[in-house]
Structure 1
Amino acid sequence: MGEGVMVRPDQVSLGMLVAAVPRDAVDEAVAVCGVREKRSDGTLPAHVITYLTLALCLFPDDDYTEVATKVTGSLDRWGCWNAAWTVPTTSAITQARKRLGPKVFPELFERCCGPVAGSAGPAAPAVALGTARGSFLRRWRLLAIDGFELDLPDSKENAAEFGYAGSGDNRSAFPKARVVALAECGTHAFVAAEVDAYSVGEKTLAQRLYPRLRADELLTADRGFYSWQGWDTAAATGAALLWRAPTQLDLPVVAVLADGTYLSVLIKPTIRGARRARILAAVRDGADPADLADGLDERGWPVAHRVRVIEYEVPDRVGNGSGELIVLLSTITDLHGDDGARADELAAAYHQRWEEETANDQLKTHLRGPGRVLRSRLPDLVRQEIWAYLIVHHAISDLTARASAAADLDPDSISFAKTLRLIRRSATGTADISPSGLG
């Protein structure tokens, strides 16, 4: 942990998961998904297997029974089961996970895994304000979008559902699932995600995430995520956008602003010829594309967006003595005021995008383990396991954000790996569980 940061033992025990995923939220998710068990059928209740599945993500090296043995004492102290009962077998846990199905954990994530960095102050002038440094730019909460892959057990079911990377002699050793997520930059907390087969591209999964953006958020994205459709969908939410432009994107200069940035216009690629020229000419004359007859399609949707372009050079980025030109697109076209931001603020905000790569590394390298294959051999359980990892990572991010806020420190000053080790040490107990009657 960072020097001077105090975290109470009860905060880092398995009670962290119970606090992050309350029993009532579990019961509500189970009810919504229609998988509540009959209490007299002798099976593991849904809330018990939910907490056990989360605990499996804390101990990826251990088998089902070993994990259950480790954590039952802690969960008994938190009122999640009765310590007088016996530890369930691996088979019983597997069958209970199958009954729970793939829908409960994404439902739980939606209920429990929101932003954790508090709120922006009314006069926040720059990046690195609020209860977690790097979480806000003025009135906007900073988010980043990125993707990662996870190796799965090489079962025929996983291969059919998720597929491999490459083909033939270049085929990956294991089937792979693809995850694209939105993360809060300052705290690394994932706040929305999509999970699918490897063949489903990052842009496709991102397209499903954009409608969840809110007007008080600013989404940063690397150039690999840019598309007209993606920008159009994300901008329609009212959220602010700050994306790196792909190299070949045409960005005509509409007007140069006082800070050296300039206004441009993004026009739908299918709009060509005279109509495209009319839109560009009108925008150069000061018109809003949405006010133009040529600026809407037959459904009344915009075919052009005015944007601000911020260009700056990063010296010696690749270590060969040359610089790299960074070109950013933003919906923030004003330099000042409640809806404005300076060029240096936007450049600093875009730099925060790299914090999501830290979040990905925390989940894949520290929580799951480097190079580790997930444990689930069936697709429904794979999805369940991935969402469980996302929830556990969020719980740890929430804990470190609150600890850092209490000490007025950057969350990065608290080691994720050390916090995880402390949680694992504190999560063990020696109670037994019964496979039935845990009301």
Structure 2
Amino acid sequence: MDQGAVETGGPVAWPDRLSPGALLAAVPRSMVDEATEVCGVDERPPGGRLPPHVTAYLTMALCLFPDDGAEEVARKVIGALSEFGDRDTAWEPATSSAIAHARERLGRDLLRETFYRVAGRPVATAGTRGAWLRQWRLMALDAFGLDVPDSPQNGAEFGYPNNGRARSARPRARVVTVVECGSHAFVDAEVGPWTRSRTKMATSLLISISDDWLLLADRGLYSFATFSAATRTGAALCWRAPARLSLPILEVLSDGSYLSALVDPAIRGREREELLDEARSGSKPDPAAAHVVRVVEYDVPDHEGPEQIRLITNITDPGRLTAAELAGAYRRRLEDATTGRGPGSLPQEAGTVLRSTVPDLVHQEIWAYLLVHHAINSLICQATTRTDAGPDRVSLPRAVDIVGRTATGTAAPSP
């Protein structure tokens, strides 16, 4: 069997069905054109310059070929635009200088606006394996960093990581996303400087949350304010608690989990004890000050010894969702993160530095990466759902390689 095939026990799903045409379909030109109008970018620049939609697709293609020069990438993909129905090809050859000027004309916001139009809703269906747990759609908050070239402008815009001893050699952008666990596709994102709090960035994304979601999050995204804001959306939550978080036992439940209370850390002393007493009595405290939560604790093997995981959830009734189900959902999310299909996995090799030396183009490039990531994972999800295979069975790097090879004409067309 070809190593790119997905064994399903029945039909076989071939990632080779991915192609530039499918990628273009995942980011329709109509949505690029809408974003162009919203951002006020000239749709027909004078003098045969690259138009916005071509520059947008070219910028996305630069993410697929991080080691190639801009002119080489242009040669690989611009022909695909006319092959897949784009007849507006009356522009000058795409030299490095022309591409640089075209990206400057595009600005930082056009691809962000395109992302919001393309990725505004989940893509998994009821038939997608791993997308649902009982009646809840599995979703996650995630945060990661991307290194950018060291220039004075980028340093001032994004800031440098600092490990307490020395400053990093390169500035880093912070990205916080909402990701669909079943498809691994981003549905919302926020891009900002490394110096901006990831919990505050996560809070700004909560407007996209639906009340039929079970939203997972790691301990680095927990704050009382962020958890409170997420609770107000009506969504079910399952977040890993930081080790330092105090979680007093109020009542042990039938499945081994227990009820506890999250109290605003600004509240101390007697007022805090009164809130805990109120929670112990079965009353619901003022949600602005405290939340009754359920805690699931378990150990996982680690090379340095067992590591304790503490999950906090607003699903306080074990009959609605058991401790084992909550632990299983969080475990699958951790496995995604370590196998290259998790929320922080982008179509680039680890350690790759972005191309752009000025902040506007860094933002543009990051939104291009997010679009490509969403598009490829959406295509994988659609293909595997039709064959009843889980999207986890297809390697994201393998799919990126397929798209790259079909863009250059070296992959045989699908039958």
Question: Does the Cα contact within 8 Å between 1:244 and 1:328 map onto a contact in 2?
Answer: yes
Structure 1: state its 5+ residue gaps: 120-129, 290-294, 296-300, 431-439
- The CA deviation at 1:362 is 7.4
Q: Does 1:286 align with 2:279?
A: no
One-letter code aligned to 1:380: D
Cα distance in 2 for partners of 1:29, 1:185 equals: 27
Q: Does 1:404 align with 2:387?
A: no
Cα distance in 2 for partners of 1:172, 1:251 equals: 35
- The CA deviation at 1:201 is 3.1
Cα distance in 1 for partners of 2:83, 2:26 equals: 16
Counterpart in the other structure of 1:164? 160
- The CA deviation at 1:379 is 0.6
Q: How does 1:337-356 map to 2 (within 5 A)?
A: 340-355=320-335
Structure-2 change in CA distance of 1:408 and 1:181 (3 Å): same
Counterpart in the other structure of 1:391? 371
Question: Does the Cα contact within 8 Å between 1:365 and 1:371 map onto a contact in 2?
Answer: no
Question: Does the Cα contact within 8 Å between 1:71 and 1:429 map onto a contact in 2?
Answer: no
- The CA deviation at 1:83 is 5.5
* Correspondent of 2:61 among 45, 49, 55: 55
Counterpart in the other structure of 2:182? 186
- The CA deviation at 1:359 is 8.0
- The CA deviation at 1:313 is 2.5
Cα distance in 1 for partners of 2:65, 2:306 equals: 44
Counterpart in the other structure of 2:291? 305
Structure-2 change in CA distance of 1:253 and 1:363 (3 Å): closer
Counterpart in the other structure of 2:261? 265
Counterpart in the other structure of 2:122? 115
Cα distance in 2 for partners of 1:358, 1:182 equals: 18
Structure-2 change in CA distance of 1:62 and 1:238 (3 Å): same
Cα distance in 2 for partners of 1:318, 1:147 equals: 23
Counterpart in the other structure of 1:92? 98
One-letter code aligned to 1:392: V
One-letter code aligned to 1:36: D
One-letter code aligned to 1:351: R
Counterpart in the other structure of 2:303? 319
- The CA deviation at 1:205 is 2.0
- How does the TM-score come out when normalised to structure 2? 0.89
Q: Does 1:202 align with 2:198?
A: yes
Question: Does the Cα contact within 8 Å between 1:266 and 1:307 map onto a contact in 2?
Answer: yes
One-letter code aligned to 1:115: P
Question: Does the Cα contact within 8 Å between 1:72 and 1:428 map onto a contact in 2?
Answer: no
Question: Does the Cα contact within 8 Å between 2:148 and 2:170 map onto a contact in 1?
Answer: yes
Question: Does the Cα contact within 8 Å between 2:50 and 2:91 map onto a contact in 1?
Answer: no
Q: Does 1:80 align with 2:86?
A: yes
- The CA deviation at 1:155 is 1.9
Question: Does the Cα contact within 8 Å between 2:158 and 2:195 map onto a contact in 1?
Answer: yes
Deviation track 1:258-285 (CA, whole Å, cap 9, x = no partner) reads 2222222212122233333332222222
Structure-2 change in CA distance of 1:6 and 1:261 (3 Å): closer
Counterpart in the other structure of 1:19? 25
Question: Does the Cα contact within 8 Å between 1:186 and 1:355 map onto a contact in 2?
Answer: no
Question: Does the Cα contact within 8 Å between 1:165 and 1:198 map onto a contact in 2?
Answer: yes
Question: Does the Cα contact within 8 Å between 2:186 and 2:343 map onto a contact in 1?
Answer: no
Cα distance in 1 for partners of 2:206, 2:14 equals: 35
Structure-2 change in CA distance of 1:247 and 1:165 (3 Å): closer
Deviation track 1:243-263 (CA, whole Å, cap 9, x = no partner) reads 112223222222322222222
**How large is the RMSD of aligned CA atoms in angstroms?**
2.5
3-state DSSP of counterpart to 2:205 = helix
- The CA deviation at 1:429 is 6.2
One-letter code aligned to 1:50: A
Higher relative contact order (CA 8 A, sep 6+): 1
3-state DSSP of counterpart to 1:367 = coil
Counterpart in the other structure of 1:46? 52
Deviation track 1:3-53 (CA, whole Å, cap 9, x = no partner) reads 3533486x4221122111111111111111222334555432111111111
Counterpart in the other structure of 1:211? 207
Q: Does 1:421 align with 2:407?
A: no
Q: Does 1:332 align with 2:315?
A: yes
Question: Does the Cα contact within 8 Å between 2:177 and 2:343 map onto a contact in 1?
Answer: no
Deviation track 1:84-131 (CA, whole Å, cap 9, x = no partner) reads 765322111111111111111111111112322114xxxxxxxxxx41
Farther off after superposition, 149-158 or 235-244: 149-158
Structure-2 change in CA distance of 1:379 and 1:366 (3 Å): closer
One-letter code aligned to 2:334: W
Structure-2 change in CA distance of 1:422 and 1:108 (3 Å): same
3-state DSSP of counterpart to 2:266 = coil
Cα distance in 2 for partners of 1:220, 1:201 equals: 19
- The CA deviation at 1:393 is 1.0
One-letter code aligned to 2:379: L
One-letter code aligned to 1:108: T
Farther off after superposition, 363-372 or 273-282: 363-372
Counterpart in the other structure of 2:12? 5
Structure-2 change in CA distance of 1:364 and 1:91 (3 Å): farther
* Correspondent of 2:137 among 141, 145, 153: 141
Q: Does 1:357 align with 2:337?
A: yes
> How many pairs align?
402
Cα distance in 1 for partners of 2:219, 2:308 equals: 13
- The CA deviation at 1:308 is 0.8
* Correspondent of 1:276 among 266, 272, 276: 272
* Correspondent of 2:362 among 372, 382, 390: 382
Cα distance in 1 for partners of 2:151, 2:87 equals: 33
One-letter code aligned to 1:313: D
* Correspondent of 1:34 among 35, 40, 61: 40
